[in-house]
Each structure stands twice: as C-alpha cells, then as structure tokens.
Amino acid sequence: MRKALLVAISLLSAGAYAGESNHVVGGSIGYGVQDFESDDGKEFGAGDNLVGDIYYRYMLNDNFGIEAGLMSSTGNGGIGTAISSIFASVDNISYKGARAVVYGQVPLSESNHLYAKAGMSANQLNYDVSGFFSSDVIKSIESDGSDFYGAVGWGIRFQSGLGLNIEYQYVPVQELKVQNFSIGMSYRF
C-alpha cells in the first residue's frame, strides 16, 4: 500500500511540474503554395503542397528558446498541383530536411502568445522535369543545400502542458519558395 501511495504522489508531482519545464516537443501539419525559379531566372507557380514538421525546443527563459526539427513535404497536394502540372515543366516536387532555429515569443495573456522562428534548414529537393503539355519525364533532379527558415504564429498553452498553434512558414528550398499555413500541437514537459 505504501509503495502504491508513493508512486501516486510521484506521478502527481511530475504532472504539476509539467507546465514549468524548459522542454517542448511538438509537430504540425499544413498546406501551402510553392513557386519554382527556373535556371533562366523565371519564376512560376509550382502548385500546392502538404507539409509535416516535428520538433524539440529548449526554452532558455520564459520568452526565448532554441529549436531543432525535421520537415517533409510533398508537392502533390491538391487541385493547385493538378492544374499547374498541365502547363509546367516541373512536376512531383518534394523536399525534406532538418532545421535549427531561434524561437521568441511575446505573451498576450497568461496562456496565449505570438511567436517567431528564424534559422537555417539543411534540405534535399527532388523534382521531375518534363516537356510542356507532356507527361514524359525528361530527367529527375535531386539537390542538397541549406537555406533560411522563418515562421510566425499564434499559440496557446494549457495548464496541462498541452499547446496548440497556428503558423505561417516561409521556407526557400534552393530553387523553390514555399509558403505554408500549419496547425500544430505541442507538449511542455
């Protein structure tokens, strides 16, 4: 009986500490648009994309932290991709990578805040090049690079440590400029 009581008290103590910790894990899913810049400098719409993101953040104090995460996207998102693939010579765009950012937040109340993220991403971009009005793939391109990563958003954190957020991301990935809107969930432990 004593051991069970000790375990119960320990678990309750850990729950009370959950909102005060410096550690945050989270993830988000989103939808966005992407623009592709060709070798000759022309920019054209390359459709839409679905994006996923997972991260770990260490809060240095109440308002600033550092964050590392993984991101992945597929350019076969929806109607925008279906329409643009008829006219564009670039198709099947996808990217993935790791990112490291500085995180800052401005509290609006005790539980909600505005935030911004800025840093770098190391990424891999894949796409197929085909002829105009043709579905024949001329070549498949895979390239690696590092680029800026930026995001702004609004979040709310509950007393349980659970948080929800809405975020706008600007992610240039080599020849691709991606703008996403995401919804996410995190847990501070």
Lowest mean pLDDT among 80-84, 93-97, 136-140: 80-84
What are 52's two structure tokens? 């996923």
Residue 76 has pLDDT above 90, yes or no: no
User: What is the chain's mean pLDDT, rounded?
Assistant: 83
Q: What CA–CA distance (Å, rounded) separates 39 from 26? A: 37
Greater confidence (106 vs 35) lies with 106
Helix (H, G, I), strand (E, B) or coil at 39: coil
What integer pLDDT is reported at residue 41 of this predicted model? Answer: 73
Q: How many residues comprise the chain?
A: 189
Query: What is d(CA 130, CA 96) in angstroms, rounded to the nearest whole number?
Result: 22
Torsion of CA 101, 14, 165, 106, to 10 degrees: -60
CA–CA gap between residue 73 and residue 24 (Å, rounded): 23
Going by their DSSP bridges, the two strands 23-37 and 90-107 should be labelled as unpaired
Looking at residue 123, what is its pLDDT? 95
Tokens 């001329």 locate to 138
Tell me the β-bridge partners of 57.
Answer: 24, 67
**Residue 127 and residue 91 in contact, taking contact as beta carbons nearer than 8 Å:** yes
Nearest 10 degrees: Cα torsion 108, 113, 119, 123 = -150
Whether the CB-CB separation of 163 and 19 falls below 8 Å is answered with: no
DSSP 189: -
Q: Would the pLDDT of 16 be above 60?
A: no
Confidence class of residue 12 from pLDDT cuts 50, 70 and 90? very low
Query: Which residue intervals of the chain are DSSP H helices?
Result: 2-17, 79-87
The residue assigned the tokens 């909600």 is: 112
**Does 118 score more than 90 pLDDT?**
yes
